[in-house]
């Protein structure tokens, strides 16, 4: 496993299935926020055995480096109401280690599948936000007046140039208020939003083929009738504190569109010409279900084995 945003001695030791490994990452000052940055900066960790294929398998996660005194005992930010991580990516399932397994599991006639066919390759280009397409990403719910830290990341192929666009509300980055951001491949950003406009709003990539391919989500700003309590001030920070986390790499069945509907316009994805190519399975199409490898947090170390 490799990371950006922390230092550790170079080591190419691989973790075999069913085994565990401890990494000690030192967070140097240059990886942390400057006085003009948000409280936490966004970085990534990922499998480094076969970087590209591991990436399409799903072995990637976010690492945050935060200003001293801004995290509570659970490792959560004290001075924001919500934190959301958003991965904008054209997931190339045709390059995954699990491609053959997905063909055998989800196509009607695996023997008819031509993996070099341009239409098959196109059907496996999943234009997703956090592995969901056409508005199927769940859980982006906040209250009016909330302060939200959005942690935005991309993968490292040339196609992964994105322009995340938040409809309805603005965010702050580099001292400016904006509603869209240009994101290059393999980069990470933290933007801070004060949700002051209630409603259900679209969140999407404005690159034409990404937008048409389903790189769209919705977020909800609700009037929760809660008066905001005063935000506590930073407390004394012990620079020698060590935080310990347990992470497991596991195989899951992933559904890119759980509702099988286009949440933005309400249409059935199988009845929409633009979306059907990505979600329909058949004799030589995998569809919206894929076997993936993902990192999951684990409360205790022995559950990793």
Q: Which of 276, 159, 265, 144 lies closest to 216, judged by CA?
A: 265
Helix, coil or strand: residue 39: coil
Which residues are known catalytic residues?
205
Helix, coil or strand: residue 275: helix
Helical segments of the chain, H only = 51-57, 99-106, 118-123, 208-212, 273-279
Token duo for residue 113: 């599948």
Task: Give the H or E element holding residue 130.
Answer: none
Helix, coil or strand: residue 54: helix
> Is 83 in contact with 71 (CB distance < 8 Å)?
no
Q: Listing from the earlier edge strand, what are the strands of the sheet with 40-46?
A: 2-3, 40-46, 60-66
């Amino acid at each position: 496993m490799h990371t950006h945003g922390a230092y550790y001695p170079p080591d190419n030791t691989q973790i075999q299935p069913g085994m565990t490994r401890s990494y000690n990452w030192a967070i140097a000052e240059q990886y942390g926020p400057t006085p003009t940055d948000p409280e936490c900066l966004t970085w990534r960790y990922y499998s480094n055995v076969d970087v590209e294929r591991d990436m399409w398998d799903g072995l990637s996660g976010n690492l945050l480096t935060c200003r001293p005194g801004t995290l509570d005992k659970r490792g959560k930010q004290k001075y924001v109401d919500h934190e959301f991580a958003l991965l904008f990516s054209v997931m190339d399932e045709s390059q995954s280690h699990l491609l053959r397994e997905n063909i055998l599991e989800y196509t009607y006639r695996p023997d008819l599948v031509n993996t070099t066919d341009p239409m098959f390759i196109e059907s496996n280009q999943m234009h997703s936000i956090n592995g969901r397409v056409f508005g199927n990403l769940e859980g982006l719910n906040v209250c009016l007046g909330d302060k939200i830290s959005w942690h935005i990341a991309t993968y490292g192929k040339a196609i992964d140039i994105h322009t995340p666009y938040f409809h309805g509300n603005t965010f702050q980055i580099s001292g400016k208020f904006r509603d869209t951001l240009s994101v290059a491949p393999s980069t990470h950003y933290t933007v801070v939003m004060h949700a002051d406009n209630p409603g259900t709003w679209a969140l999407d990539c404005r690159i034409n083929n990404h937008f048409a391919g389903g790189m769209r989500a919705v977020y909800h700003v609700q009037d929760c009738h809660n008066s905001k309590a005063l935000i506590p001030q930073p407390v004394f920070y012990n620079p020698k504190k060590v935080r310990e986390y347990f992470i497991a790499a596991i195989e899951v069945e992933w559904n890119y569109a759980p509702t099988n509907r286009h949440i933005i316009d309400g249409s059935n994805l199988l009845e929409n010409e633009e979306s059907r190519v990505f979600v329909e399975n058949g004799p030589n199409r995998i569809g919206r279900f894929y076997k993936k490898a993902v990192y999951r947090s684990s409360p205790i170390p022995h559950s990793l084995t």
